[in-house]
Amino acid sequence: MANIISDETIEYVGILAKLELDGQERERAKKDIGEMLDYIDKLNELDTSDVEPMSHVFPVHNVFREDVVKNGDGRKQTLSNAPDSREDGFVVPKTI
Amino acid sequence: MSLMSLTAVELGKKIKAKEVSVEEAVQAALDAIAEKEDKVNSFVTVDAEKALERAGQIQKDIDNGVLSGPLAGVPVAIKDNMCTKGMLTTCSSKILGNFVPPYTAEAVRNLEKAGAVILGKTNMDEFAMGSTTETSFYGATKNPWNPEHVPGGSSGGSCAAVAAEECSYALGSDTGGSIRQPSSFCGVTGLKPTYGTVSRYGLIAYGSSLDQIGPIAKDVTDCAVILEAIASHDKKDSTSIGRDSYDFTSALTDDVAGMKIGIPRDYFGEGLGTEVRDAVLAAAGELKKKGAIVEEFDLSLVEYAIPAYYVIACAEASSNLARFDGVKYGYRTEEFEGLHHMYKKTRSEGFGTEVKRRIMLGSFVLSSGYYDAYYLKALRTKALIKQAFDRAFEKYDVILGPAAPTTAPRLGDSLSDPIKMYLGDIYTISVNLAGLPGISLPCGTDAKGLPIGLQLIGDCFEEKKILRAAYAFEQTREYAHSPLAADVML
Amino acid sequence: MKQFETVIGLEVHVELATKTKIFCSCSTAFGGQPNSHTCPVCTGMPGSLPVLNKQVVEYAVAVGLATNCKITQYCKFDRKNYFYPDNPQNYQISQLYLPICRDGGIEIETEDGVKKTIGIHEIHMEEDAGKLIHDERGENSLVDFNRSGVPLIEIVSEPDMRSADEVIAYLEKLRLIIQYLGASDCKLQEGSMRADVNLSVRESGTMELGTRTEMKNLNSFKAIRRAIEAERQRQIDLIEAGKEVVQETRRWDDAKEYSYAMRSKEDAQDYRYFPEPDLVPVIISDEWLQEIRERQPELRTEKLERYKREFHIPDYDAELITSNKKLADIFEATTAICHLPKKVSNWLMVETMRLLKEHEMEIEEITFSPENLAKLIQLTEDSAINSTVAKEVFEKIFEQDIDPEKYVEEHGLKTVSDDGALRSTIEKVMEENPQSVEDYRKGKKKAIGFLVGQTMKAMQGKADPGMVNKILTELLQ
């Protein structure tokens, strides 16, 4: 396996993705991600130096909205699935 | 004969002719679900009460002439990654286990306008990440042809429900083959439209640049009719494309004389099962007999589609799934110390293994220092793949090949080796990268009696060409009902 | 002792004055119950998709043109990924790779009259975050997404500033330009204009840049000035003590006049930008660019010339009034009603400025309407009230935007010009003050002043002093 995923990498990616893996799950993830990266490295066989990256397949552009208010009070809908809410706000652990 | 063995269009005709009431049709579906669900597990949610209530309204609208379309009153199942107002939408994940959307996906709304009656939400691989419908938090779906086998995925629930005849048709979504591959495994017909044809508004995103909603049904005619109903230029989806025509059914003619069909040699190499190969080539032979010009050619780049796909889809998914954090909706862990601990615990408990694996891979390939090497490289590869298809469509009207290298694997065989599972998508994935339309329809069974799917790929916006070829081929054979469907016909 | 030079660059966020949010049709209005201006899009509901508000592009281009930027005619949006509860999707739609404007600059003039150009590196469009309401007692914060998705432009300057004075001059100039364009009201206090300060120090004479820090949470010009001074000193102290300046983001606490590092293990500052797949590119054609250019409103210098020409007000007045868009708007609206430009400018320059200072308010916070100021001017013009009463009434207008006609009526403040009533009051005053009457008649003409005062007092200030004088002189003869 060419790509060795270290504990530090898993830790770092865990901070970025907000995921915390325990012992067994972590070992499995290290192995799987390493193997997937090895597989992805296959792309290096291709010479793409003259190719522009393509994010959209079709040349669609300039899709706009007019600046007109159409939405009314959205409180009820917005909060209807909240795991914890109070005074029309979502409750989260203190951020400061 | 069961109402559920009819195609959607056939049932719609009977409803229109007042031979069958909407309530009878919906009740037949609900009875089938009640009878078969413990064998197939194709649904996450069934709302019988709402469906029957809606059946009454639709009947009135049909009676007073408000509704007259081909799908009015016909019961449908919706993949559980499309938002349905007031009806649980879970993406087969624990993290959305209690999510009741306050709005309905545009494609579903279009169906509602056509008079569809929604029975419930179908099972899928969690967040559409998988090829077997085994990664669902709500248990695996079984293949109606053989419960020891997977139905494919990620739209496995929708395909199994159609094959088991628990609904007349279903909606699925396809990011890398998620409609076509399970359609192939379940012996039904599934169409992935050109990117931008069906609105993604309300479809819970996996890979935004690849996701597309499409119909799953018993035959090509149903697929064309359903596509006419769900396709629209939606102002709420910036990537939705206004098409010159939304007519697809006029392509349903048994005429392929002079149609140029290309068979990519690259699709018939190592890894392809012989029975699948033979059935697909036999199908090509049928089309040739009807006057199509069939040629082999080299598509190229086929083996690069999967790695490029996994980089792009996982990168987009890592961002799309960031919103599931226990703050606004869905699951929140019970105990935590502070904000970041709540995020981590919620997400680690709420997502399954495959989803976590893809989020981590996606976060990694986008992280500082790797973006160019992985993400941009994948986008460049995608451009090359698109060019290869462009070249092919200069010569051919339709590309013909298998939908999957094998028939449905046994339950539990795929998950242990992710790369092997990903390889199963080799014929479908490049179609998503290039934004093309593709259809999978039954073309035979293997020695175990499992269905084999034929895939037809068209150029952008050329759904009518693949529908025409598919329809012509379909005329050469009878629709085979799955054993589970036949069960209740007795 | 070593001499140090301060090198400052600014990242200025400006909330655009659109009616709706950048990606959905929710209102951008301030106030309202928490989460009332929200929908599936601006709360990151699964399946929702953004659609770009065209006006945002037009404002961004307008600001770019007015700050001499090159407009990126093919621009795109990118996702900036980070977890925070005020960010509903846990990514912000912004622009990294192809921002809408680049390579501009504006000329500033500091108080000591030095002119210099501050470069603008880029301007990009992005969405604002929601608001966190901190519960001082409890363990929780509350999230309100009313501001989530309000359109912002971020104006990133080059590190061209060398002092707090230059920073303030740059911000004031930027604010004036944007206000004139009508692209934002640029209120620092309300957060519709926010500046993050990137600062480093280096030994005078060296060319290499020192390690910089980024300072956030600066809500007023005063806070910006204090934070710059404090950070400059902190970095110099570190360097002189032989320590390293750490590249980090710091939060300014203006009450404590102190900043602290916003470091966290959970904050990797690795934003994993990638092209936003849910939005398509924006192509700004030459024709569209020309349309926006032609629609550009009158900027300050043009307005200044027009005021002198059209309203014949003195240079000083025109300078002061056009120094602020809001002030100029009030001036024009009021003048359009009462047609007395010099009177209007006097009220704005004298009484309005005095009251702003007294209330510690910014011009942007003015709430009175041109209609009511025009009515007040008309009342004084008709001699319906005298100048003392007018000032008193103006205070009410300034504070509560009352209708001066009604107010004067209800409080009986009208100047009494009824000859009979005035005459009888004066006669009474004369009766009560025989000594003064006698003094006057004996030639002590000054005594009339006391009698006028007494009359005004008896009339509770509502008499026309000229008329009182005239009648008194007549009766004293």
Q: In what order do the strands lie in the sheet with C213-216?
A: C70-71, C101-109, C115-127, C151-157, C4-15, C193-203, C213-216, C249-253, C258-261
**Integer Cα distance of B343 and B326 in angstroms:** 7
- pLDDT-derived band at C439 (thresholds 50, 70, 90) equals confident
Pairing of strands C74-75, C282-283: antiparallel
Which tokens in the block code for residue B182? 């399970």
Nearest in space to A56 (alpha carbons), one of B309, B433, C283: B433
Can you tell me the mean pLDDT for A39-51? 95
Backbone dihedral angles phi then psi of residue B480, each to the nearest 5 degrees = -95, 115
Give me the residue label for tokens 């429900």.
B161
Q: Are residues C406 and C424 part of one domain?
A: no
Residues of chain B with pLDDT under 50: 488-490
Asked if C91's CB is within 8 angstroms of B319's CB, the reply is yes
Nearest in space to B234 (alpha carbons), one of B86, B67, B110: B110
Q: Where are the alpha helices (DSSP H) in C116-163?
A: none
Question: What H or E segment, with its residue span, contains residue B106?
Answer: helix B106-113
Q: Identify the active-site residue in B93, B154, B168, B199.
A: B154
Q: Which residues contact B391 (CB under 8 A, 6 or more apart)?
A: none
Q: Which residues contact B265 (CB under 8 A, 6 or more apart)?
A: B296, B297, B298, B299
**Integer Cα distance of C457 and C451 in angstroms:** 10
Closest residue on chain B to A14 (Cα): B360
Q: Are residues C169 and C317 part of one domain?
A: no
Q: Are residues C444 and C332 part of one domain?
A: no
pLDDT at A1: 61
Can you tell me the mean pLDDT for C397-415? 89
Asked if B386's CB is within 8 angstroms of A57's CB, the reply is yes
Q: Which residues contact B252 (CB under 8 A, 6 or more apart)?
A: B220, B221, B224, B467, B468, B471
3-state secondary structure of B46: strand
Can you tell me the mean pLDDT for C262-267? 77
In a domain, C354, yes or no: yes
Query: Which of B360, B367, B375, B461 is best to mutate for the A interface (most A CBs within 10 A)?
Result: B360
Nearest 10 degrees: Cα torsion B113, C49, C62, C366: 90
**Integer Cα distance of B8 and B217 in angstroms:** 8
Q: Which residues contact C306 (CB under 8 A, 6 or more apart)?
A: C298
pLDDT at B164: 98
Which tokens in the block code for residue C368? 């009175």
Question: What H or E segment, with its residue span, contains residue B398?
Answer: strand B398-402
Nearest CB partner across the interface for B322, out of C89, C266, C273 = C89
Q: Identify the active-site residue in B136, B178, B318, B430.
A: B178
Nearest in space to B425 (alpha carbons), one of B220, B128, B223: B128
pLDDT tens digits for range B425-471: 999 999 999 999 999 999 999 999 999 999 999 999 999 999 999 99
For C184-237, list the strands marked E by DSSP.
193-203, 213-216
C-alpha distances in angstroms, B134 versus A84, B125, B254, B481?
31, 6, 38, 23
Distance from CA of C19 to the nearest CA of B (A): 18
pLDDT at B490: 40
Pairing of strands B189-192, C70-71: unpaired
Give me the residue label for tokens 């066989």.
A45
Query: Which of C25, C35, C39, C48 is best to mutate for the B interface (most B CBs within 10 A)?
Result: C48
3-state secondary structure of B292: coil
- pLDDT-derived band at C466 (thresholds 50, 70, 90) equals confident
Asked if B340's CB is within 8 angstroms of A19's CB, the reply is no
In a domain, B368, yes or no: no
Can you tell me the mean pLDDT for C186-214? 92
**Integer Cα distance of B389 and B433 in angstroms:** 10
Triad C377, C383, C385: Cα angle to 5°: 75
Q: Which residues contact C265 (CB under 8 A, 6 or more apart)?
A: A15
How many CB pairs below 8 Å do chains B and C form together?
A: 98
Q: pTM here? A: 0.88
**Integer Cα distance of C22 and C13 in angstroms:** 14
Q: Which residues contact A22 (CB under 8 A, 6 or more apart)?
A: none
3-state secondary structure of B82: strand
Whether B154 is a known active-site residue: answer: yes
DSSP C39-101: -TTTTT-TT----EEHHHHHHHHHHHHHTTPEE-SEE--EEEE---TTSTTSEEEE-SSS-SE
In a domain, B312, yes or no: no
Q: Are residues C371 and C426 part of one domain?
A: no
Backbone dihedral angles phi then psi of residue C246, each to the nearest 5 degrees = -95, 135
Question: What H or E segment, with its residue span, contains residue C442?
Answer: none
Tell me the one-letter amino acid at B41.
N
pLDDT at C426: 86
The answer to whether A76 touches A89, Cβ cutoff 8 Å, is no
- pLDDT-derived band at C417 (thresholds 50, 70, 90) equals low
Distance from CA of C60 to the nearest CA of B (A): 20
**Reduced DSSP (H G I as helix, E B as strand, rest coil) percent helix, strand, coil of chain C, to 5:** 40, 20, 40
pLDDT at C468: 83
**Integer Cα distance of C447 and C433 in angstroms:** 11
* Omega cis (within 30) before B154: yes
Length of chain C: 477
pLDDT tens digits for range B317-332: 999 999 999 999 999 9
Chain B residues 312-331 with CB within 8 Å of chain A? 318, 322, 325-331
| Lowest-confidence region among C147-151, C252-256, C393-397, C450-454 | C450-454
Pairing of strands B189-192, B212-217: antiparallel
pLDDT at B489: 44
Q: Are residues C467 and C401 part of one domain?
A: no
Our measurement of the distance from residue B423's CA atom to the centroid of its chain's CA atoms, rounded to an integer in Å, reads 18
Chain C residues 272-301 with CB within 8 Å of chain B? 272-274, 277-280
pLDDT at B30: 97
Which tokens in the block code for residue C133? 């309401």
Strand partners, C93: C79
C-alpha distances in angstroms, C261 versus C201, C247, C251?
18, 10, 6
In a domain, C436, yes or no: yes
pLDDT tens digits for range C117-163: 999 999 999 999 999 998 767 789 999 999 999 999 999 999 999 99
Closest residue on chain A to B384 (Cα): A51
Note down the domain range covering C452.
Answer: 419-476
Q: Which residues contact A54 (CB under 8 A, 6 or more apart)?
A: B379, B380, B382, B383, B386
pLDDT tops 80 at residue C227: yes
Q: Identify the active-site residue in B5, B21, B79, B184.
A: B79
In a domain, C236, yes or no: no
In a domain, C190, yes or no: yes
Which tokens in the block code for residue C396? 């009410």
Note down the domain range covering B447.
Answer: 3-261+394-489
**Integer Cα distance of C448 and B147 in angstroms:** 115
Nearest in space to C199 (alpha carbons), one of C2, C1, C3, C11: C11
Closest residue on chain A to C84 (Cα): A95
Q: Are residues C401 and C424 part of one domain?
A: no
**CATH at residue B15:** 3.90.1300.10
DSSP A69-80: ------HHHHHT
Is C88 near chain B, with CB under 8 Å?
yes
In a domain, C248, yes or no: no
Sketch the domain layout of chain A as residue ranges.
Answer: 7-45
pLDDT tens digits for range B264-296: 999 998 889 999 999 999 999 999 999 999 999
Can you tell me the mean pLDDT for A13-34? 93
Nearest in space to B96 (alpha carbons), one of B116, B110, B82: B82
**Integer Cα distance of C377 and B101 in angstroms:** 58
Give chain A's contact residues with C (Cβ, < 8 Å). Answer: 12, 15-16, 18, 55-56, 60-71, 73-75, 77-79, 86-96
Q: Are residues C83 and C15 part of one domain?
A: yes
In a domain, C42, yes or no: yes
Pairing of strands C4-15, C151-157: antiparallel
3-state secondary structure of B328: coil
Which tokens in the block code for residue B244? 């010159």
User: How many structural domains are present in chain C?
Assistant: 3
